[in-house]
Amino acid sequence: MSRSNASSDGEGVLECTDCLDPADAFALVGNETRLAILEALWAADERPVAFSDLRRAVGVRDSAQFNYHLQQLTGHFVTQVEEGYAFKHAGEKVVRSVIAGSFNEDPSVEPFPVEGSCYACSGSLEATYEDERLAIDCVDCGSGHGEYAFPPGGLNDRTPAEIAAAFDHRVRHLHCLAADGVCPECSGPMETTIVEAGDCCLGVGIRVDHVCRQCDHALCSAVGLRLLEHSAVVGFHRERGVSLDDRPYWTLPWCVSDEYTRITDRDPLRLEVTMALEGDRLRVTMDESLDVLETCLEAR
């Protein structure tokens, strides 16, 4: 596959033959006609889009001029196939990020109450939206129950309860990807480490940090969040009338607090998360990559 030689001035050092220097990539799409081409491709009912249809949609009369701009995009942002033109991932990302802002340009949501109570003091919980991040905190003691980026478009046409439910799904999904070693932002390799000290948005002492080796995207969580889909954990709750699919993760103390997590061994590292329900307890032992080694049920 070829790449544009936009960095032939010798400045940008390319590490792979398909990669563009970021500055060159931005320069390529920093042009009204080229952005219009990407948006037209986005708006098309079907892709690939034939050259003449694309040109008509963008509204450029001069075919040579249109072709020049289209060729600048082809390779990195757009791919040419027999039937016409389609997106490459980067091209779709550009349009998505341009359009995502327009879904809701000035998001404002008043803090609203959410289901559950504080794991630390039993106070009420409230969601706040700031800087395009949604956070759930205790109204009384301020304990954090999770915070994550939430695109403003996600606020549209949703009641506060629906926003909270969407946030719950989003956090579970993204953390699951990260724990499986896939960066939610760039799909690069994600590294998971157990961290015992330091501060994070959650204020938990023993926590999990996921950091992408490729793009540095980072997420943190309590250790228990990894267990939401583990069969023994799901079963333990189901047998006691709790469906983990229907409960927002922040209403489960072992998902948000480190109080239920213990380091039982250091060499090799072993963690134990304990969950209690109806007087019974389930103890789950995990290794440092958060794989479950064993579960132990202590029934009343």
Residues at the contact surface with Zn ion, assessed by CB under 5 A: 118, 120-121, 123, 138, 140-141, 143, 183, 185-186, 188, 212, 214-215, 217
In Å, what is the CA distance from 140 to each residue of 38, 118, 120?
Answer: 48, 9, 10
Q: Which is nearer to Zn ion, 107 or 123 (CB)?
A: 123
Nearer to Zn ion, 176 or 292 (CB): 176
Contact 82, 51 (CB under 8 A): no
Whole-number Å distance between alpha carbons of 127 and 138: 9
Give 163 or 219: the residue with its C-beta nearer to Zn ion: 219
Question: 134 near 128, Cβ under 8 Å?
Answer: yes
**Distance in Å, CB of 57 to Zn ion, minimum:** 33
Nearer to Zn ion, 141 or 296 (CB): 141
What sign has the CA pseudo-torsion 117, 122, 124, 126?
A: negative
Return d(Cα 229, Cα 176) in angstroms, integer: 9
- Closest CB to Zn ion among residues 20, 155: 20
- The least CB distance from residue 16 to Zn ion, in Å, is 16
CA torsion angle 209 244 295 206 (round to 10): 30
**What's the distance, Cα to Cα, between the start and end of the chain in Å?**
64
Residue 156 or 193 with smaller CB distance to Zn ion: 193
Tell me phi and psi for residue 91, to 5 degrees. Answer: -65, -40
CB of 70 to Zn ion, least distance (A): 29
Minimum gap (Å) between residue 94 Cβ and Zn ion: 17
Q: Rank residues 30 and 113 by Cβ distance to Zn ion and give the closer one.
A: 113
| Least distance in angstroms from the C-beta of 50 to Zn ion | 35
Burial class (CB within 10 angstroms; exposed 0-12, middle 13-18, buried 19+) of 148: middle
Least separation in angstroms between residue 145's CB and Zn ion is 9
Q: Determine the Cα–Cα distance for residues 12 and 71; give it in Å rounded to an integer.
A: 20
> Smallest gap, in angstroms, from Cβ of residue 249 to Zn ion?
17
Is residue 290 within 8 A of residue 275, CB to CB? The reply is no
Residue 216 has, within 13 A of its CA and on its CB side, a CA count of 0
